[in-house]
Chains A and B, each alone.
Chain A
Amino acid sequence: MLTYLQRIEWFIGLVLLQVLVLNHMHINGYATPFFIYFILKYNSGVSRNVLMIWAFLLGLTVDILGNTPGMNAAAATVLAFMREPVFTISHAPR
């Protein structure tokens, strides 16, 4: 229960940070999608489906507030989908 509350706090905090501050910042002309930190920090061992739904909702929220419906949602879902394989590759025992 507590972790859920914490997760929702992170969700709201990152969305506000993204929409009110980072959407106005561009580094070398590229956007700064920091909200994906939520997806990266999520506990390992989470099922992909759960993570993808969180990512989709997060992306959609940022989209609605930034007038880009679907764009961030699609990208965040791909990221959630790819997270586990990428982590596995990058942390593979040598």
Chain B
Amino acid sequence: MKNLLNFFLKYNYWFLFVLLEIISFALLFHFNSYQGSAFFTSANFVSGAMYDAANNVTGYFHLKTINDELVQKNVELELQLESIRKALIEATEDSSGVEQLKQEALAGYDIFKASVINNSVTHADNYITLDKGEVDGIRSEMGVVNGSGVVGIVYLTSPHYSIVIPVLNSKSSISCKIKRSDYFGFLKWDGGSSEFAFIKDMPRHSLFSLGDTIVTSGHSAVFPSGIPVGTVDDIADSHDGLSYLLRVKLFTDFARLNDVRVIAQKRAGGTIGVGKAGKND
């Protein structure tokens, strides 16, 4: 008995070691397996505030390019506005018809503005932290987009911050279709370049060609139909040879994401896209 106690006392650090490792791995698997508490992530209060402060500084470094883009966009929009205004005046005397259509398209969705305060593109599972949370109306399973296309789906929320699963995460699976022909598949990402993602189960008989635009399908309530995703960059056979594997060049530049919009369907209940952000790996 005495020997046994001595043994335990002599090697007590082994027990601490095993205990700490068990805690670590429990956290690791807990976080990866289901939507637990947001506490052990960058959505908790302290780390959120810290990233907010850091983003205030680093945000300035991008201002020049963002400004250039905005000016460019402004010019384009003004030109467009001018031509559309002309066309509108020519086509109809009464503008209420067009206004009504626009309002109908946006009517079903709420749009929240948010800033990215933490982001990565180099891990196998990347996450984005936003500076808006439950207090601002953000909930899990809402869609996130930016000016150029789809970003991802909200995963965890805390009162003031939220974590998004972007396209660049193995858990992400967004229903997309080819704009021209309406054939649909699921957008996946399995590591590698942050510019490309894949659509796996595109049927053999579907019609598409290189350069075709991919948009969201609207089959789930997360994204409305027709939000741009990317263009077909390469076509290959899937591993089982039964369908096509499309490489998609994403419109969104995830490496310099700053301002995003969170979109949410207004009507509560009904068919919310269950399992879209979840685990179907």
Residues of A within 8 A of B (CB): 20, 23-24, 26, 47-49, 52-53, 56, 59-60, 63-71, 73-74, 77-78, 81
The reply to whether A70 and B20 form a contact with Cβ atoms under 8 Å apart is: no
Contact residue among A47, A69, A81 (Cβ-Cβ distance under 8 Å from B27): A69
- Smallest CB separation, B61 vs chain A (Å): 12
Report Cα–Cα, A66/B120, bound state, in Å. Answer: 9
Which residues in A have their C-beta under 8 angstroms from that of B20? Answer: 52-53, 56, 73, 77
Could you show 13 A-B contacts with beta carbons less than 8 Å apart?
A20-B54, A52-B13, A52-B20, A56-B20, A66-B42, A67-B41, A67-B129, A68-B123, A70-B23, A70-B26, A73-B23, A74-B21, A77-B17
- Smallest CB separation, B157 vs chain A (Å): 14
- Smallest CB separation, B112 vs chain A (Å): 22
| A69/B40 contact (C-beta < 8 A), A24-B120, A52-B20 known | yes
Instruction: Let me know if B170 is at the binding interface, CB within 8 A.
Output: no
Across the A-B interface, the 6 shortest Cβ-Cβ residue pairs: A70-B28, A70-B27, A74-B24, A69-B27, A48-B13, A73-B24
Which residues in A have their C-beta under 8 angstroms from that of B120? Answer: 23-24, 66-67
Instruction: Let me know if B73 is at the binding interface, CB within 8 A.
Output: no
The reply to whether B27 and A73 form a contact with Cβ atoms under 8 Å apart is: yes
Report Cα–Cα, A66/B28, bound state, in Å. Answer: 13
Contact residue among A23, A26, A47, A69 (Cβ-Cβ distance under 8 Å from B30): A69
Report Cα–Cα, A47/B17, bound state, in Å. Answer: 13
The reply to whether A49 and B41 form a contact with Cβ atoms under 8 Å apart is: no
Report Cα–Cα, A78/B123, bound state, in Å. Answer: 22
Instruction: Let me know if B127 is at the binding interface, CB within 8 A.
Output: yes
